[in-house]
Structure 1
Amino acid sequence: MNRQRALAVTAAGAIATALTLAAGAAPASAEILDAKAEAARADLTGNVSQGVIDELQETFGLTEAEAYDRLAVEDVAADLLEEVPADLDESYAGLWVSEDADEIFVATTDASDTAGLRAEGATPVLVEHDLAALEDAAAAVAPISMEGYYGNYVDVVANTLVIETADAATAADLIEASGIDPSLVTVDAEAEAPQTYFVRGGDSYIVENSWRCSVGFSVRQGSTPGFVTAGHCGSAGDQVTSGEAAPGTFRNSVFPSSDRAWVAVGSGETLYDDVNMYSGTRDVANATQAAVGSSICRSGSTTGWHCGTVQAFNQTVRYAEGAVYGMTRTNVCAEPGDSGGSFISGNSAQGMTSGGSGNCSSGGTTYFQPIGPALSAWGLTLVTT
């Protein structure tokens, strides 16, 4: 793969310097990443549908070969995302895929981690704040209810906690009320108020003959079939009365705080191990978490299939109905009625559409509820290929 090395990453209140070798020397991490990606690509060849390759080409302006290169690097990043945080422990500050998906960065507060990270194929980045410190600050801010406060998330690339508010004064009040160190914070004082993507009649599934949402993924609880979706789509006991999905009953639902639910359907209903792309289908193979910067796509009954990238984990979103924690932030668009729909990266289920801002005409930000908490909390098994 053809690489250009990033020399520095900077942000207000953060020092983030890429730890590169002497000028003219190719970092060992690049060679190792190339080898790992080549092995991953060999596994991907023949196991990725042409639809996946076509959408990556269209979304990111890639050739077919470059689309396979991107998937291979993202596959390596997903493996490192499971391994590196435990290896670095207190010094770990985040992992992300570069914009062109030709490099994997790992941030650390300890320069002695450099050699080990390079040996894994990652490019080390020295930063000021470890991830735990930023997440602790996020946890201190998240529960505060204040008009004009829309949410927060940790931006691992910029090594900062981003607070989203209607204006700078609200952000200042919020920082003071939470007692966090202002040097950890970057303020987005022009954020749009998020809304849950809800209902206006039509396709997918209808709850209580009144509002529409979208199916996330097929699941089973023991021998009981069903699907996961967004919690704000229905409360426990609500009925799915019509639409494309089989009739069923909301067994469990959490909203706000989280935004997850599962619907049980009849024992004779068929569960499909794929996602509607509105131009075909996408197989679901597993629920491996994709790294920040990875490509990701969303399916929903209002706007169909749209793609983009993962921007951040553990986003706090403050809807009018209350705060929701632990969301994943993306730049994929969505609109009302897409709620509950599938977020998938490659063939890995990621989560269920929650809400956001903007639309699919002008673009926007969309948050999804990671699927893991729903599966573990309710003993659900994802239906896969």
Structure 2
Amino acid sequence: MAQRRTTLTTRALTGASVVVLTAGAALLPGAGSATAALASAAPKPDATQAASTAALVAQLGDRAAGSYYDAAARHFVVNITDSSAADQVRGTGAVPRTVRYSTTQLRGVLSTLTQRARIAGTAWAIDPRKDKVVVTVDPTVTGAKRTRLNTVVKSLGDRVVVRRAATAFKPLIAGGDAIWGSSVRCSLGFNVSVNGAPYFLTAGHCGNASSTWSDSQGGREVAQTVNSHFPGADYALARYDDANSDHASVVDLHNGGSQQITRAADAYVGESVQRSGSTSGVHGGTVNGLDATVNYEEGSVSGLIDTDVCAEPGDSGGALFDGDAAIGLTSGGSGDCSSGGETFFQPVPTAVSAEGASLP
């Protein structure tokens, strides 16, 4: 069979029974333009800069209050609560910014919200650019639920800012095209290896929905779900049936090209990223928060990456990436790729570490 180029690229080699599933999934007619969806041309720091900034923030402890990348100014900003740390920050090439609230104080806000306001239709994350916790509320939060949320938010004062989502938060699962389960369609995230054998990562709510996967609707089984986490986290590991599968470590860009993936990396606030999914193709945006919690109807998921990247049903499990780095797996969110939206992602390093996997 000739090679078929789609986001979930499936290639069957005659007589060899080799199947290649490339990260992402099929771009349907009428979906967004791949060219328009590519990440912005904003300058990016290199991986060393991101790692050194993260290490400094950890070293400073409560003298720091997070960090972010300022693409316009082309440097990292480190929030500090102690001005004596400013020279230490400058010594790494970052810019110090004195803020009011420490990471400990803002994490205290997260703890209060988790204990008192875990209401379906809400989400929250620390935004170091605001030095506040951003609470997002979807249209389903009304009546007594909204009154309860308002009471908790009011008690937290100016450490919290509230914004509204246009549509309900939901896992982005659908029936139709891409990687097909028994009754669902999702998107493949990244191919990985476990003890030298071929596997792939996708969303946990997809793994919960199907124990087997095919590369075509109604087609033969090519993989089985072996581990799935949702709610709490949102990732699943599937094993290819053919141990000799050629599972390329690439993401399809929907423009005839692909992006090689060589590593897993942690996201940082201000990072310019791209997402590939089976419904809407490739779209870009920015990381707005880390360690986010989303309260879906199905349960709460924590430790997520909060972005302004759009996504649509069927994009679940798809790849979030930055150049050659695997960043996240599409979980869910609000909005769509016509009007814009907010999407949350399971960090890939967490999933890879938990499953004992590595990029092939």
What is the TM-score with the length of structure 2 in the denominator? 0.81
Please say if residues 141 and 175 of structure 1, whose CA atoms lie closer than 8 Å, have aligned partners that are also in contact: no
Asked if 1:182 is matched to 2:157, the reply is yes
Distance 1:357 1:57 in 2: 18
The aligned amino acid for 1:207 is G
- Equivalent position to 2:83, from 106, 111, 131: 111
What whole-Å deviation, never above 9, does each CA across 1:34-62 have from its counterpart, x for those lacking one? xxxxxxxxxxxxxxxxxxxx9799653x4
SS state at 1:82 partner = helix
Going from structure 1 to structure 2, the CA distance change for 1:334 and 1:56 (only over 3 Å counts) comes to: closer
The structural deviation recorded for 1:375 is 1.2
Asked if 1:222 is matched to 2:195, the reply is yes
Of the structure 1 ranges 282-291 and 296-305, higher mean CA displacement relative to structure 2 is found in: 282-291
Asked if 1:207 is matched to 2:184, the reply is no
Please say if residues 150 and 193 of structure 1, whose CA atoms lie closer than 8 Å, have aligned partners that are also in contact: no
Distance 1:380 1:219 in 2: 6
> Which residue number in structure 2 is paired with residue 161 of structure 1?
133
Going from structure 1 to structure 2, the CA distance change for 1:215 and 1:149 (only over 3 Å counts) comes to: closer
The aligned amino acid for 2:202 is T
The structural deviation recorded for 1:98 is 1.2
Distance 1:109 1:100 in 2: 24
SS state at 1:382 partner = coil
Going from structure 1 to structure 2, the CA distance change for 1:193 and 1:57 (only over 3 Å counts) comes to: closer
Going from structure 1 to structure 2, the CA distance change for 1:326 and 1:175 (only over 3 Å counts) comes to: farther
SS state at 1:135 partner = helix
Please say if residues 39 and 274 of structure 2, whose CA atoms lie closer than 8 Å, have aligned partners that are also in contact: no
SS state at 2:264 partner = coil
Please say if residues 37 and 284 of structure 2, whose CA atoms lie closer than 8 Å, have aligned partners that are also in contact: no
- Equivalent position to 2:225, from 247, 250, 253: 250
Distance 1:189 1:300 in 2: 25
* Root mean square deviation of aligned Cα: 2.7
Please say if residues 143 and 323 of structure 1, whose CA atoms lie closer than 8 Å, have aligned partners that are also in contact: no
Of the structure 1 ranges 339-348 and 167-176, higher mean CA displacement relative to structure 2 is found in: 167-176
Give the number of aligned pairs: 320
- Equivalent position to 1:272, from 248, 265, 269: 248
> Which residue number in structure 2 is paired with residue 33 of structure 1?
none
SS state at 2:263 partner = coil
Going from structure 1 to structure 2, the CA distance change for 1:155 and 1:261 (only over 3 Å counts) comes to: same
> Which residue number in structure 2 is paired with residue 317 of structure 1?
294
What whole-Å deviation, never above 9, does each CA across 1:347-384 have from its counterpart, x for those lacking one? 1110100111111111111111001221121211122x
> Which residue number in structure 2 is paired with residue 19 of structure 1?
none
Going from structure 1 to structure 2, the CA distance change for 1:232 and 1:122 (only over 3 Å counts) comes to: same
Please say if residues 168 and 187 of structure 1, whose CA atoms lie closer than 8 Å, have aligned partners that are also in contact: no
Going from structure 1 to structure 2, the CA distance change for 1:85 and 1:169 (only over 3 Å counts) comes to: farther
> Which residue number in structure 1 is paired with residue 275 of structure 2?
298
The aligned amino acid for 1:356 is G
SS state at 1:219 partner = strand
Distance 1:82 1:187 in 2: 27
Please say if residues 77 and 291 of structure 1, whose CA atoms lie closer than 8 Å, have aligned partners that are also in contact: no
Going from structure 1 to structure 2, the CA distance change for 1:261 and 1:128 (only over 3 Å counts) comes to: same
- Equivalent position to 2:171, from 189, 196, 206: 196
Structure 1: where are the runs of 5+ without partners?
1-53
Please say if residues 204 and 233 of structure 2, whose CA atoms lie closer than 8 Å, have aligned partners that are also in contact: yes
Percent identity reads: 33
What is the TM-score with the length of structure 1 in the denominator? 0.76
> Which residue number in structure 2 is paired with residue 240 of structure 1?
213
Distance 2:37 2:76 in 1: 21
Of the structure 1 ranges 226-235 and 133-142, higher mean CA displacement relative to structure 2 is found in: 133-142
Of the structure 1 ranges 159-168 and 170-179, higher mean CA displacement relative to structure 2 is found in: 170-179
> Which residue number in structure 1 is paired with residue 335 of structure 2?
358
Distance 1:252 1:232 in 2: 11
Distance 1:381 1:283 in 2: 15
The aligned amino acid for 1:303 is S
> Which residue number in structure 2 is paired with residue 11 of structure 1?
none
Structure number with the bigger relative contact order (C-alpha 8 A, sep ≥ 6) is 2
Normalized per residue, which structure has more helix?
1
- Equivalent position to 1:374, from 345, 351, 358: 351
Going from structure 1 to structure 2, the CA distance change for 1:143 and 1:283 (only over 3 Å counts) comes to: farther
Distance 2:352 2:286 in 1: 23
Distance 1:195 1:235 in 2: 15
Going from structure 1 to structure 2, the CA distance change for 1:145 and 1:131 (only over 3 Å counts) comes to: closer
SS state at 2:341 partner = strand
